[in-house]
Amino acid sequence: MKRRDFIKTAGITSLATGATIAAPVVHAKTKIKWKMVTTWPKNFPGLGTGANNLARLITEMSGGRLNVKVYGSKELVPAFEVFDAVSRGTAQMGHGASYYWKGKSEAAQFFSAVPFGMNAQEMNAWLYHGEGLKLWTETYKPFGIIPAAAGNTGVQMAGWFNREINSIKDLQGLKMRIPGLGGEVLKRAGGTPLSIPGGEIFTSLKTGVIDATEWVGPYNDLAFGLHKAAKYYYYPGWHEPGTTLEALINEKAFNELPEDLQSIVTNACKIANQDMLAEYTARNQLALDTLVNKHKVDLRKLPDEVLNKLKILSEEVVSEIAAKDQLSGKVFKSFKKFSQQVKNWHDVSERVYLNVR
């Protein structure tokens, strides 16, 4: 009784005086365990470690009440079965990129990367302060999945090639690992796009199964040793100007969480989203210096003729996909409107500043 009177009195005193008294720490007896499956090789720099970071954030922010264990590609399910695993509830979370799931919904591709589309800063603005996240949630709703942005690579590289690209004709007959809308554009240019999991890229390029590959950028490409399998390294990443990576959350598992843990999960995704972009920004140039100066990589810019033609083809492809179904059309309309809005602002802010600094 004395202890209760003391706590009660202390609470009243703190309110009256404005003093801060730490509330007693309450540890919930129930500890929840979640599995996170990813499309990335286990512990792979940037992507795999980004998934690890998200799991760590959720576990630490919840005080261990929600413990998330990460499984890399093939540890629990193959890379391209992550979506189904989360949808079925085999795993409560997944980490990947939405363009891998175009077989589930054409609209999904717009939430990862659109050729010549929005960069990382603009994508985040559309998702958080436009209609992006709302439409993304609508897209995944039929599958029992809640999406969240959980990483961004920034502008990627055009990729590694075992042939020179001097004109658009050099893309004809090219077998290239390139997913999503970028792959559809390459196909329109006469190439053959292939969707290959990250862990199989090096061997496929080295053995000639493919002639070229895009992956991410110098930080990740150096880690994969892609400079040992191809001669030419081209930029810019026209196909992925600001690739949003995703957390896939099983809707039923999420709804079973108390509200504070739900908030922790969604806010941990936001932290992981920002942190990954910062990491790529910090590490890409250091890796590029190593590739060029130590490994003597032949770094080249794609000719303007090629980029201009790819842009025309991209507009055709994206418009055709938007016309395939009502949801894709709605998502594309929102994406296009917001893209023009932020482009107009960046034309008098970011673009001008970068050109003059």
Query: What pLDDT, in 10s, does the model give residues 172-209?
Result: 999 999 999 999 999 999 999 999 999 899 999 999 99
Residue 10: the pLDDT is 42
Question: 343: which 2 tokens?
Answer: 């482009």
pLDDT > 90: percent of the chain? 91
* Average pLDDT of the segment spanning 17-44: 70
Q: What is the pLDDT of residue 6?
A: 40
Position 106 scores a pLDDT of: 96
| pLDDT (tens digit per residue) in 299-314 | 999 999 999 999 999 9
pLDDT of 351 above 60? yes
Give pLDDT, residue 121. Answer: 98
pTM: 0.89
What pLDDT is recorded for position 18?
Answer: 40
Q: What does the mean pLDDT of the chain come to?
A: 93
Q: What percent of the chain has pLDDT over 70?
A: 92
Q: Is the pLDDT of residue 24 over 80?
A: no
Each residue's pLDDT tens digit, 212-226: 999 999 999 999 999
In this structure, whether the domain defined by 32-152+242-281 belongs to CATH 3.40.190.170 is answered with yes
The pLDDT value recorded for residue 126 is 98
pLDDT reported for residue 30: 76
